[in-house]
Structure 1
Amino acid sequence: MTLRVGAHVSIAGGVDNAVDNQLEVGGNCGQIFTHSPQVWQDPNIGDEEAERFREATEHELAGPWVIHTSYLVNLCTPKEGLREKSLDSMQKEVDAAAKLGIPYVNVHLGAHTGAGVEGGLDNAASVIDELDVPDGVTVLIESDAGAGTKLGGEFDHLAGILDRTETDIDVCLDTAHAFSAGYDLSTPEAVDETIAEFDDVVGLEHLRYVHLNDSKHECGTHKDEHAHIGEGYIGEEGMERIVNHPDLADVPLALETPTEDGKGFAWNIERVRELRAE
């Protein structure tokens, strides 16, 4: 199986620049924002730059890309105004994905802010089912660290949203988030147990992407802070088993590791390649 690994790269100066940015760090797939994730903003992608992006991706990368939605999107919210903004933002992201030939749009469930777990999942499903998702695009629900009233920290939450929606959706598993949420990944045995539990509760057939990140915090702390591959609390043994686990061998990996201590995406991608037994 070809190792598909890349990073979350910038689209500054045009979305087509993301391909060169990915190649520069040694990646062959990866993730982008279509705009600043801190604000409500529409993707502004011209036809020509979209064509350049599609052609460069086809010729230069193994793929696939995934779009990460704005951090402001909250699918679980009981607040009507925020719900409508989230729905509008999500619709524009799936449309942008279709324009760019990107098969996945990744989103967090968000926080239920008092609606409760069941109410939050119901709210999220209703937003997803109002989307007009273009052919060839799939919404991925990302696992969360589970702080406060945020949903997605438990595999049951991911299974719950899959069960509730009439839309065909799938899942992105973030290793740092899962670890922080309480799923141990720090030893080969723990990785095997966690992947088996994911398969039992959610189903590996729904796992389309992995955000491969180590964690700066211990298992079960619900703290979301990423570390360099093999240098956090998941550690080298855990990371090595993750990238070599037979059930994950062909799942694309996108890194959201930090740039610090003289190490960036290139260092982390090379580390993943070193850990992968070919």
Structure 2
Amino acid sequence: MRVGAHVSIAGGVDNAVENELDVGGNCGQIFTHSPQVWQDPNIGEEEAAAFRDGTAEHLDGPWVIHSSYLVNLCTPKDDLREKSVDSMQKEVDAADQLDLSYVNVHLGAHTGAGVQQGLDNAVSALDELDIPDGVTVLVESDAGSGTKLGGEFEHLAYVVEESAHDLDVCLDTAHMFAAGYDLSSADAVHDTLTEFDDVVGVEHLKCVHLNDSKHECGTNKDEHAHIGEGLIGEEGMDAFVNHDLIVDNDVPLVVETPHEDGRGFEWNIDKVRELRAGT
């Protein structure tokens, strides 16, 4: 089972390997810089080599880079589009430097341009990237608040199908739930994952952000809870991590759960393994 967490790179990207091991993960996710600012990764070759060596020696993988929160691929604004494409290019280049498989990105918001125009903007922005061999961009599902796109499986399918690149998908359970895809029971999980397979195709599912939700299904509110302790709940989380489409395809699970109530990533990773082992 591949399960890990989004860990810090403070002090150097190579420290992410030890941070992942400390919480019991065997795969994981990182930011290459603060996600709230426009900033280049600036990873030194020595620390990149240490990251590659540490990963090869200690982890199963994969690693995912999560792009900056400022990136907006759907935007109709030329200056923001240019910054977004530039930022994404630097992230896929960093992934290549780190010998890392995936760069994860939200589609962003169309801010009044309309859904179809926003999706077309995202496709054309992604198509501007020069993506190195061995690196794949993952389009992440969204909670769907405001004019943000990616809350519907059809949005993800359109971008994957229309792009000139071979794109894949990352599903976030809290985002899916917030967007209106029920995951709170075994039947709901089966129906939702079957719909995803029908609309997008499970062959495109390369990572899951496994998070419970502090808010009800369909509220478009994105706030994560400990695994099994939110409104998705233990039954839903159990059904999700043990569903055939997840297990048979060995989909990596990355928690982005809160640090509260005296519990952090380690507790949540242990909980995921407990749920899988309980079948």
Q: Which amino acid is 2:124 matched to? A: S
Which residue number corresponds to residue 116 of structure 1? 114
TM-score w.r.t. the length of structure 1 is 0.99
Q: Secondary structure at the match of 1:114?
A: coil
Work out whether 1:256 is the aligned partner of 2:256. yes
TM-score w.r.t. the length of structure 2 is 0.98
Q: Give 1:163 deviation, angstroms.
A: 2.0
> 1:68-95 CA distances to partner (integer Å, 9 max, x unpaired)?
0000000000000000000000000000
Q: Which amino acid is 1:66 matched to? A: V
Which residue number corresponds to residue 127 of structure 1? 125
Counterpart-to-counterpart distance in 1, 2:161 and 2:262: 44
Q: Give 1:246 deviation, angstroms.
A: 1.2
Matches of residues 164-179 of structure 1 in structure 2 within 5 Å?
164-179=162-177
> 1:12-65 CA distances to partner (integer Å, 9 max, x unpaired)?
000000000000000000000000000000001001100000000001001000
Q: Secondary structure at the match of 1:276?
A: helix
The match for 1:141 among 139, 142, 149 is 139
Matches of residues 192-271 of structure 1 in structure 2 within 5 Å?
192-249=190-247, 250-271=250-271
Q: Give 1:164 deviation, angstroms.
A: 1.6
Which residue number corresponds to residue 78 of structure 1? 76
Q: Give 1:122 deviation, angstroms.
A: 0.4
Which residue number corresponds to residue 12 of structure 1? 10
Counterpart-to-counterpart distance in 1, 2:240 and 2:100: 25
Q: Secondary structure at the match of 1:237?
A: helix
Which residue number corresponds to residue 103 of structure 1? 101
Counterpart-to-counterpart distance in 2, 1:258 and 1:75: 27
Which residue number corresponds to residue 159 of structure 1? 157
Q: Give 1:162 deviation, angstroms.
A: 1.2
Q: Which amino acid is 2:67 matched to? A: T
Counterpart-to-counterpart distance in 2, 1:162 and 1:58: 30
Which residue number corresponds to residue 22 of structure 1? 20
Q: Secondary structure at the match of 1:173?
A: strand
Work out whether 1:44 is the aligned partner of 2:42. yes
Q: Give 1:160 deviation, angstroms.
A: 1.1
Counterpart-to-counterpart distance in 2, 1:158 and 1:195: 14
Counterpart-to-counterpart distance in 2, 1:142 and 1:55: 28
Q: Secondary structure at the match of 2:4?
A: strand
Q: Secondary structure at the match of 2:177?
A: helix
Query: Could you say what the CA RMSD is over the residues aligned between the two structures, in angstroms?
Result: 0.6
Q: Which segments of 5 or more consecutive residues in structure 2 lack a partner in the other structure?
A: none
**Where has structure 1 moved over 2 Å in runs of 4 or more?**
none
Identity across the alignment (%): 75
